[in-house]
């Protein structure tokens, strides 16, 4: 496995290097052939997708994608998305948890020095404030096992943590960077690995249909981490979302096919070439489904197109309360 340096995806290198080591846009992807159908889905009538913002990392566009401006502030969303489904609600990622300060203190000192974050309210406290029935919650589905996606897991003891087999293995590899292994090493997570038993899905080689109705479908998208996944969600009104995790950090990564700057890719991506191929796969999907709502895990604009928990105050996000 590739050895990861101490400064990874969430650290902020010298901004002049970010600009100098950029890269041009990727070429247009090959169109999906007509033989690749738009998958059918039969989501239940009361299904919904709700943003659960827990805080931000302070960034600029130049950090997020090649050619981005140093003066364009982009506070990266850190949080979760709650999928309401009668067979069991799922949190996609968990955002910052109650113990984020203690967790973060176990990270390398250079990482701590170069990473600035702001906590709003952990997901568990937002759900409590909203009067949420925790008996509905069946698991936390990780797009990948990095610190800013799984800090809040410890706030939900014994809750199943759904993870791809490759990221589960990578989490315990000493050469894998970007998680709280020093803090989590003695934590008995209720890991539940999932595979990809289904065939091709929108140009991706395999898929996992969580509830068998096509409403929540995971596809493998390795690159940022060995076992990163993309989660496709289809709501009852046939509005389709793609929760792409850290495939890109901002929408421009897909709408303009702009990778992370070279230095950031070098430090933050496990397999930059694999990530590049998955960017092109998703760009082809966006061509086939023009109204697909693409949700990079750290783009506040994307989460603003979801519902919000009631009785929760957020900063910087204008959302529609609904639970």
- Of 137, 143, 153, nearest to 187 (Cα)? 153
Q: Which CATH number fits domain 15-23+40-194+201-308: 1.10.1040.10, 3.60.15.10, 3.90.870.10, 3.90.1150.10?
A: 3.60.15.10
More confident residue, 113 or 213: 213
| pLDDT classification of 23: cutoffs 50, 70, 90 | confident
Q: Is the pLDDT of residue 16 over 50?
A: no
* 27-59 pLDDT per residue, tens: 999 999 999 999 999 999 999 999 999 999 989
Beta pairing, strands 307-308 & 48-60: parallel
Cα separation of 318 and 323, whole Å? 16
Q: What mean pLDDT, rounded, does the chain reach?
A: 88
Range of 17-26, 183-192, 253-262, 309-318 with top mean pLDDT = 253-262
Q: Output the CA torsion 298→37→238→313 (10° steps).
A: -10
Instruction: Tell me the mean pLDDT in the region 112-130.
Output: 92
Q: What's the pLDDT at 111? A: 81
CA 11-190-169 angle, to 5 degrees, is: 55
| pLDDT classification of 6: cutoffs 50, 70, 90 | very low
3-state secondary structure (DSSP) of residue 207? strand
Q: What is the pTM of this model?
A: 0.90
More confident residue, 16 or 241: 241
| Cβ(59)–Cβ(299) below 8 Å | no
Q: Is the pLDDT of residue 214 over 90?
A: yes
Q: What's the pLDDT at 222? A: 97
Cα separation of 295 and 317, whole Å? 14
| Cβ(81)–Cβ(92) below 8 Å | yes
Q: What's the pLDDT at 105? A: 87
Q: What's the pLDDT at 18? A: 44
Q: How many residues appear in the chain?
A: 323
Cα separation of 26 and 6, whole Å? 28
Per domain, the residue ranges of the chain are 15-23+40-194+201-308
DSSP per position, 210-252:
SSSSSSEEEEE--SSSTT-EEEEEE-TT--EEEEEETS-SSTH
Of the ranges 13-22, 177-186, 210-219, 241-250, which one carries the lowest mean pLDDT score?
13-22
Cα separation of 163 and 197, whole Å? 14
Instruction: Tell me the mean pLDDT in the region 165-181.
Output: 79
Residue 242: phi and psi, rounded to 5, are -130, 110
Torsion sign over Cα 139, 150, 254, 33: negative
Of the ranges 108-112, 154-158, 219-223, 294-298, which one carries the lowest mean pLDDT score?
108-112
Under DSSP, the state recorded for 83 is E
| Cβ(163)–Cβ(192) below 8 Å | yes
Q: What's the pLDDT at 110? A: 83
Cα separation of 189 and 318, whole Å? 34
Q: Is the pLDDT of residue 142 over 50?
A: yes
* 55-104 pLDDT per residue, tens: 999 899 999 999 999 999 999 999 999 999 999 999 999 999 999 998 88
| Cβ(221)–Cβ(245) below 8 Å | yes
> Please, where are the H alpha helices in the chain?
15-20, 61-64, 100-104, 109-114, 123-129, 147-150, 165-171, 181-184, 252-255, 262-268, 272-288, 300-303
More confident residue, 113 or 207: 207
């Amino acid at each position: 496995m590739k050895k990861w340096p101490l400064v990874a995806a969430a650290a902020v290198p010298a901004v002049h290097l970010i600009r100098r080591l950029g890269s041009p846009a990727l070429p247009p992807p090959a169109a999906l052939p007509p033989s690749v159908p738009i998958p059918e889905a039969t989501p239940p009538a009361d299904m919904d997708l709700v943003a659960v913002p827990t805080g931000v990392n302070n960034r600029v566009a130049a950090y997020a994608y090649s050619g981005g401006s140093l003066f364009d502030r982009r506070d990266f969303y850190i949080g979760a998305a709650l999928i309401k489904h009668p067979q069991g609600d799922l949190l996609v990622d968990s955002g910052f948890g109650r113990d984020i300060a203690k967790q973060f203190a176990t990270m390398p000192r250079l990482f701590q020095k170069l990473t600035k974050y702001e906590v709003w309210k952990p997901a568990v406290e937002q759900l409590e404030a909203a009067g949420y029935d925790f008996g509905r919650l069946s698991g936390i589905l990780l797009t990948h096992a990095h610190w800013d996606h799984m800090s809040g897991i410890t706030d939900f003891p014994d809750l199943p943590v759904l993870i791809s087999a490759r990221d589960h293995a990578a989490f315990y590899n000493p050469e894998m960077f970007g998680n709280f292994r020093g803090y989590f090493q003695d934590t008995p997570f209720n890991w539940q690995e999932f595979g990809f038993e289904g065939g091709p899905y929108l140009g991706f080689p395999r898929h996992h249909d969580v509830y068998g109705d096509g409403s929540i479908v995971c596809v493998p998208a390795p690159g940022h981490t060995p076992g990163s996944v993309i989660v496709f969600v289809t709501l009852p009104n046939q509005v389709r979302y793609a929760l792409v995790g850290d495939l890109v950090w901002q929408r421009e990564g897909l709408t303009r096919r702009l990778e992370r700057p070279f230095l950031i890719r070098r430090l933050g991506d496990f397999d930059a070439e694999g990530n590049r191929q998955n960017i092109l796969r998703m760009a082809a999907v966006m061509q086939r489904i023009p109204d697909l709502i693409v949700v990079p895990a750290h783009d506040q604009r994307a989460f603003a197109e979801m519902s919000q928990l009631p009785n929760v105050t957020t900063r910087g996000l204008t959302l529609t309360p609904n639970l």
